[in-house]
Structure formats: structure tokens, C-alpha cells
Amino acid sequence: MPSDKTTSLPLPLSGNSNKNPLLTDPLELQFQHYVKPGRPFFDFAPPQEEPQQKRHRFFGRRRPKKAATNTTMPIRGRRGRSPAPPAPAKTSSPPPPTTPSANGYSHDSIVFPKVYEDAWGLADVARSDLERARIFLLRFTNMSADPLINAGVRAIVADTQRNTTVLGIALAIQHSIFGNRHAEFSVTPLLQATRFMLIKARIPEKLFAEHAQSLIDFFFDPTLQRNLSPPPPGETVVYRYPAGRLRVCIVGGGPTGLASAISLAEKGAGNIEVHVWERRWVLTEDGRIDYPPTARRRDQVVTLQDTVTNLLTKESYQALFAGRPERVWPGSANIQIRKVEDRFLKRCQDPEFRGLIYLHAEGVTRDELAAGKCGDFHVLLGTDGAASWVRGSYFRGYEKERGRSYALGLAFDRGAKGGLPWSQPLNMFLTLGQTRYLLNASDHDGRGYLNMQVTEEEWDKMVAADGQPVHFGRPGCLRRADGSIPDGFDESRVFKPSQERESATWKSIEDGLKLFGFKESEVINVVRIPIVVQAVREGVRQLPLEDSRFVKRPHALVAVAGDAAMTVHFWPGRGLNSGIKAGIALGDEIMHALNGGRFVGLELGAMKEYNDFIMKLQGREHDKRSIPILNQSGSPEMLGWLLSKAASVPDTVALEWLVGAMTQIADRLERRDDWHFSPEANIEPQIRIVLRQMHSLTLREMAVSFPWPTREMAGAEVLPIRSMKPEEKQKWLQQLWGLLSVEKLKEASAARAKSPGPPSTASTARFEAPRAPRGARSPSPNPMARLTLNDRQGSPPPQSNGNGNLLDPSPSLRRSNAAKNSVRRYSNAQALPLPQGINGNGNGYNGSDNAAGSRPQSPGISTSMTPPNVNGMDGGLTRLLSVKKPTGSVLSDAMALALFRVGED
């Protein structure tokens, strides 16, 4: 054996030599240099106690050991030698080695010393792959200094009864020597030698063989380093790294979990294996996974945006809608959540995903995960809903709550033949004109949910007859018309407010049913729904070591998606849309990171782009959708304060406010290019007929809840761009550019408003108290004094502004987010005139609807709700409404000024 100072390379052994391969020869000398005799087998770096300048055979000057990184280290210091030429082709040999690029090797290249190629034997040597593998490993062990490792490898090679194939030898090395687990992400000489043996035996091309895939997944794990560090100097050969599959374990088989599994399988192209765990599933007699007939399913109807569903592949889109999307809101389609689950579950079991998606009809807890129930995985994905144990266990301290709201949900079923009582366009106009009630329903099925925002006081009353809260796990019911209890319920679960028919709470619920034309007999259950707007501060974390004992590498990553990552206020919705987008983005970013080699080392940076997407999605859905609703009427405190002011609103004013808002919403929606319905004839009379069935207090409560803040909700969507089709991406970029242009114009307008000169009349607030034109009337009376409207019996004649346009000083309602001077195109009914005054105590109007000289409601609207100075305070109602606990008469007067025009003295 040469001395420590040997630096020259002996000549390789001739390929046609017939010498005993176990005898010492020049080839073994090269193995000595590579495996470093006298060194521990798993410590490939030079010993720390040796002098720093001491030279080691084959490696030159000593280099300090470098920690494993998350990228593959390119080969350096090859001493100017070129890679070995391709080996001669032979059926039992793998494809010829690849040639490195000028800048080094790519992340999917694996580099071996040229002596490995020589030790395996040239193509003209008449040996089988099994014989070559045994000789190769025995030569290798002769040079190893670890007696325990050497004994283990020799025993495996010598066991010709059990290890009768190259696969058998590799499997024995995996379990007997490595213990079926990698202690680190860096490469050891034995691991690299086994990889070489598997590549030369063409095992990556024989994945149909038993255990072949599991061997490739273990020895060519995508998170392991590709090459030794420091790299082997001298002549090298390079092969493509046949990376194993990345394993993703999904906890929760709801729509987000299933969408994530489909996305990973489709985009992974065989490189990702997915396991989904869901306790609500059962294994049927024909071997398929399904929901049992007795399972309590989710009857809610959701609106899926076209910008989201267009990201799906053609096959997944067809599976989701079955070729029949129900068009309701512009640019979207309605569908029941249970249908999304059923159809995505069926899609996961398509033949194309066999061996890629595994469905497990049982749940998983943290203790079971730590005990190894889920086996091996690289990424744990929590899609287990708003009460996610994954988030609670691994993201504790990384959660933040943005707001809270309460709602009551009434599930109904009218049957597919019954459809919905009103047309979907009318349902939309009634929904958008206020925020007290929300209807999400399918006309295809006649099923859905009627939701009602409630105050904290009302929330406490939403209980069953036994005093227990009604929720999804234990819903309440309404009695039938004959007083009987529906099947599946008992006396104790009758919804308590329904037994107090004269209470204000029940009248509000009853009016919600009337608003959309439903009967009590069509309600199948009642639940109260807490709405917590919250999110995680980070979407990806490292799985704790105590829960990583059964993974085959030092650690794993854990991520969240859907409601587990962020919950939204479902009035503006987009919860399921966000979950599907997150699932698609997960597939995109995991594959992008895999293709770039960023999963090596399994660091958090591997999923940085997915984490960034989740953070951006949170900002869009919370700040631009959920928070505006909470600030307007969504929080219990704000809704309670608003409803406390409802009694001061005159009945007719409330009615006209709602009619004006809803008809102008109808006008705006029907002008859109993506409107799916024919224009509704006589829409205003229809709205009036519906509203006049309701109690006076309910109308006033609806009026003070205000229409949807659609302007605040507008903006560019956050989308996984890698999945966007070219035409969709172009459209999205144009929309984004348009929004940026609008922002620039707003900034310019604001700058002009600050400059000297006459004040601008434009306002960026959503509402403002309607004002007469400058000079048209005397100054407004003191807001702190009693508010009075014009009490003259006749309306003053219209005035002109000098431009041929009439000025209307009479009281009228104003609607946000609609164009000024819009015309009701489809109404054949005469608009009811506004009352011309209020009685002496300021609590009601004293003019009749058909008083002489009255006029139809003005179609003009204003775009701001900024009241004049009140008690020395000058601020918009929007700002005042954002106060969590409004008190005092200031806000009362601001509300009054917002709802009514103050008449002239």
C-alpha cells in the first residue's frame, strides 16, 4: 500500500485482464485514494488533528469540511482533465455518461470517479450485472476502513441465497447498513458507490420490478446531495441523476386537499407521490374511496371564479363541472361544495393517477403522525380546515386574527325540479343591495344556504330548545307545518327562536326567508357560523424533530393551504377559490424548485415562492375583501351599533334607499360584457314587491347595513402565474396595468386638490351626504339641531344650473359605487316619490307618497358619504364607521346625514 505522500496516479487496469479481481492491483490503489484508507467510512473529510498543510493522496492540499447546502455543488479542481469518453454501448450497460457544461455540472448530474467505471468492468468482459455488482462492492470494501460497514457489505455480497439480484443487494444495503434512513443530506462513499451500481445495472429504467421504485426513492432521494463534497478530483464520468419521487402527505381531504393532490400529480409528471388522509371517507366494496350515505355533507354553494377554474387542466375542469357550469355572478360559476368534493375525489381515482395519488380512508392526529402512521414524506400539507390541528401544532405563535363576525345559516332544499323561487339575477340584486342577508344557492339543484349576519346579542340566542348551540356538528331544525319534527332530529334540537314567533330575532330570520322567496318547510337545518378572519404569518415551517422520526431523512417540511392557512369572511367569499389557487401554486412551486435543485437539503428556501404566494394571497383576500366587510357592518360591534340606529330611519326612506341601490346595481351589472342573463324586465317593480312583504324594522336594518363595498373589493387578483394560460396571463396583465393607471390618476387628482385654487367636488369616499349645487340652497342647518326636511306641501320648481341640466333640491336617496345620472332602462313602473317632510318631532315624514307636486326619485347619486362638520369634527362616515366601539351623538348625526338630504330652510 502506498505511503501517505503518494500523489501520482497508477495506470488503470486493463479491461480484458483475467486476474483475480480481489488481488491488489493498480485499480485498487485508485480505490484507496478515493475511499481514504485509515479513515472512518462515513467521515470523508480529512481528520481535524492532522497538520493543516499536510497533503493527502489524490486530494492535494487539505480543505476544511463544508456543510451541506441546499444546492448541488458543481465539480471544481479537476486538474485540467477532461471527462472520460462515453463507454461502449451494450445492452447490459446504462446510457453513456454525459459531458459536463463549460460552467460545471447541472443539479441533475451525478459525478463518479473514472475508477468506478473501470472497476465495474468494460463492455467486452463477459459478466452479468449481478457478478459485476458483487465484484465492485468487494473491491470497494477492501479499501474501506470501517470494519462494521465492511463486514455488513461482505455479508450481503456473500448471501447468495437471498440476495440473488442487484435489487436484492441494494435493498439489503438500504435496510441493514443505512437502517432505511439517511442521517444527513450529504453523500457518503457507500451511498455513492451503491448509486453507481444501480445506474450501471439500469435499475432506474426497470421501475416495474418489485422494490425498484422504493430503491430509487431512497438512494436517489431528491433532497440528498448529488455528489461527494469535496468532489472527486482527476478523471470523472457524469450521468443524469435519476431523482426519486418527492412524497407529499396531505392531512384533510376537502376541496383544497383534493385540488392540491390533483395539481401535484398533474404537474409532477411522475416525480411526486401524494398521500391524502381523510376520516370522512370509507372504502367501498368495489375498492374505491367514497363518502358513506350517512355522512353529513356540506350543502353550501360557492362561487368559483373563472380566473381560478381556468387554471385547471382540461380534464380537471371537465371533472369539476361535468360539462355544465352554472353561471350566476359575472365571470364565475356556482357549485355545491359537496359536488366539488365528490368530483375531485373521483378525479383523484382516475387511472392516470394510479401509483401517484394514494387515498387513505382514515384520519390522522399529531400523535399518530409522530408514531409513524403516515410513513415517510418530504412535505406535510395541512388542509384540515379552519380548526386545523396542523396549524395549531406547528404554527403556534405564527397565527394572527384580523377580525371576527357571526352569522346564522339556514340550509334549504327545494329539489332540482323546484329550482329557486326568484331568478338568479333578482337574487343577486337583492343580495348586493345590503349586507344583512346573503344567498348562495344553485338553481340547478334547488339547494344552498341563506346566511344572516347577527350581532353578539343575537348570536347568544341561536340555540336549540335544550339551550345548546346549533352548529355543523349538531344542527337545529324547524318544525313542520303540522308541528312534527323532521326525520333525524328530536324535540331538543328544534331551533329555539322559531318557537318565539313574535320575537324580533325570529322576525328578522323570517324576513330573510321572505326576501328570497323561501318557505319554512324548505329549511332542512339551522346552524350558527363563527367567522374568524385569521391567517398564519408564515406558510411553511420545518417539522419538529420529534415528529420526524419516521421520515427517511433528517427532517421534513410542513405547509398549510386553504382555511388552514387563512380564513376569510364568506360574505365576499373566495375561501374555496383561495384554496384551489393555493393547491395549484403548491404544485407549480414544488416542481419549479425540484427542477432547479432547490429541494437539496430540504431547507425552507425550497418552498419560499409558495410561502410568498400565500402571503400575497392573504393580503389580497383580507385587506381587499374581508376587512372592508368587517369595517362596514361585519363585526358584531359595528353591526350592533348600526342596527341600534335603524329605528331612527323612516320606513319610506329605508325602502327607497334599498330600491335605489338595488336597481342601480342591476343597471350596472347588466351593462357588463360577462353578464350571463338577458336584461330583467320591470326589475324595480319586482324589487318593490319583494321588499314590501317584509317587516318595517327589517327594511330599516337592511338599509343601515349598506350595500356591498364593491369599490374597495376591486383590484387585481393574486394568481399562480406559472399555471396561467397565455391569453389569461395577457388579460390579467392588462387589468393590472389598468388598475395602476387608475391609481396614478387618483394620485394626480389628490395632488391637484392640495394645490391652491377652488376645492374639488370629487370624493373618494364610498358615500356622502347628498348636497345641492353651490348657490342652489342656503347653508345646511346646524347638524346638532333637530334634523328637518322640507315640510312644504309642494315641491319647489326645478332649477337650472345654466347648462341646460335641471337641479333637484328635493330629498332623495343616494347609492354608492354607481355612475351618476344612470337611467333605469328596464323599469316600466313609475318611481315612488320621496316624502317631502317629516313630522314635528323629527321621527317620520308627514308628506304622502302621492302628494301634489311630488316627483319621482332622482336617479342621480353621489359617490361620497362625508357629512359636514359635526361638533367641530370633519371626517367621512367611512372613517367613523371604522371605529370599533362608536359612541355619542356624533355618529348618530353622521348616519342621519348620510341617509337623508337635509332640506332647505
Judged against a pLDDT cut of 90, whether residue 319 lies above it is answered with yes
Higher pLDDT, 615 or 40: 615
- Taking the C-alpha atoms of residue 89 and residue 387, their distance in angstroms, rounded to an integer, is 59
Q: What's the Cα-to-Cα distance from 63 to each of 44, 229, 397, 620, 754, rounded to whole Å?
A: 12, 10, 42, 50, 66
- Taking the C-alpha atoms of residue 45 and residue 64, their distance in angstroms, rounded to an integer, is 8
- Taking the C-alpha atoms of residue 764 and residue 788, their distance in angstroms, rounded to an integer, is 28
String of DSSP letters for 273-324? EEEEE-TT-EE-TTS-EE--TT------EEEEEHHHHTTS-HHHHHHHHTT-
Q: What is the pLDDT of the chain when averaged over all its residues?
A: 75
Query: C-alpha cell of 804?
Result: 341646460
Confirm if 456 and 644 have CB atoms less than 8 A apart.
no
Average of per-residue pLDDT across 659-674: 92
Lowest-confidence pick of 11-25, 207-221, 387-401, 617-631? 11-25
Judged against a pLDDT cut of 50, whether residue 581 lies above it is answered with yes
Query: C-alpha cell of 51?
Result: 497538520
Nearest to 697 by CA among 443, 844, 511, 491: 511
Q: Report how far Cα 148 is from the mean position of its chain's Cα atoms.
A: 50
Judged against a pLDDT cut of 50, whether residue 832 lies above it is answered with no
- The CATH number for 246-296+356-398+537-628, chosen from 3.50.50.60, 1.10.260.40, 3.30.30.60, 3.40.190.10, is 3.50.50.60
Higher pLDDT, 713 or 622: 622
Amino acid at 445: D
Angle between helices 696-705 and 636-644 (to 10 degrees): 130
Specify the pLDDT at position 681.
84
Specify the pLDDT at position 107.
80
Q: Where are the domains of the chain?
A: 26-240, 246-296+356-398+537-628, 403-532+638-713
Looking from the CA of 589 toward its CB, the CA atoms found within 13 Å total 24
3-state secondary structure of 60: strand
- Taking the C-alpha atoms of residue 880 and residue 873, their distance in angstroms, rounded to an integer, is 10
Confirm if 147 and 37 have CB atoms less than 8 A apart.
no
Query: C-alpha cell of 846?
Result: 308627514
CA torsion sign for 357, 204, 232, 41 is positive
Which residues have CB under 8 Å from 349's CB, separation 6+? Answer: 288, 289, 357, 359
- Taking the C-alpha atoms of residue 340 and residue 346, their distance in angstroms, rounded to an integer, is 10
Q: What is the dihedral of CA 391, 394, 396, 400, to 10 degrees?
A: -40
Specify the pLDDT at position 752.
67
Which residues have CB under 8 Å from 191's CB, separation 6+? Answer: 178, 182, 219, 224
Average of per-residue pLDDT across 661-675: 92
Q: Count of CB atoms within 10 A of residue 24's CB?
A: 11
Q: In the chain, what are the helix, strand and coil shares in percent, each to the nearest 5?
A: 35, 15, 50
What are 596-613's pLDDT values in tens digits? 999 999 999 999 999 999
Which residues have CB under 8 Å from 91's CB, separation 6+? Answer: none
Confirm if 449 and 300 have CB atoms less than 8 A apart.
yes
What are 560-569's pLDDT values in tens digits? 999 999 998 8
Amino acid at 687: I
Place of cell 401535484: 264
Local confidence band at 759 (pLDDT 50, 70, 90 cut-offs): very low
**Cis-peptide, bond into residue 230, ω within 30° of zero:** yes
- Taking the C-alpha atoms of residue 32 and residue 19, their distance in angstroms, rounded to an integer, is 19
Lowest-confidence pick of 65-74, 324-333, 466-475, 627-636? 65-74
Q: What's the Cα-to-Cα distance from 633 to each of 225, 527, 638, 647, 702, rounded to whole Å?
A: 55, 21, 5, 17, 11
Confirm if 333 and 304 have CB atoms less than 8 A apart.
yes
Nearest to 442 by CA among 513, 337, 562: 337
Query: C-alpha cell of 897?
Result: 346625514
- 246-251 and 379-382 as β-strands: parallel, antiparallel, unpaired? parallel
CA torsion sign for 782, 783, 786, 792 is positive
**Could you tell me how many residues make up the chain?**
905
Q: Count of CB atoms within 10 A of residue 752's CB?
A: 11
Angle between helices 683-691 and 424-432 (to 10 degrees): 60
- Taking the C-alpha atoms of residue 267 and residue 43, their distance in angstroms, rounded to an integer, is 38
Confirm if 400 and 394 have CB atoms less than 8 A apart.
no
- Taking the C-alpha atoms of residue 563 and residue 375, their distance in angstroms, rounded to an integer, is 25
Average of per-residue pLDDT across 674-682: 88
Higher pLDDT, 736 or 878: 736
What are 120-133's pLDDT values in tens digits? 877 667 889 999 99
The residues facing 555 across adjacent strands are: none
Local confidence band at 631 (pLDDT 50, 70, 90 cut-offs): confident
Considering only CA atoms, give the Rg of the chain.
36
Judged against a pLDDT cut of 70, whether residue 765 lies above it is answered with no
Confirm if 165 and 130 have CB atoms less than 8 A apart.
yes
- Taking the C-alpha atoms of residue 832 and residue 577, their distance in angstroms, rounded to an integer, is 41
Q: Could you give the strand order of the β-sheet that contains 379-382, starting from the edge strand earlier in sequence?
A: 357-360, 272-277, 246-251, 379-382, 557-560, 540-542
Assign residue 848 a region (left: φ > 0; alpha: ψ between -120 and 50; beta: otherwise).
beta
> DSSP letter at 2?
-
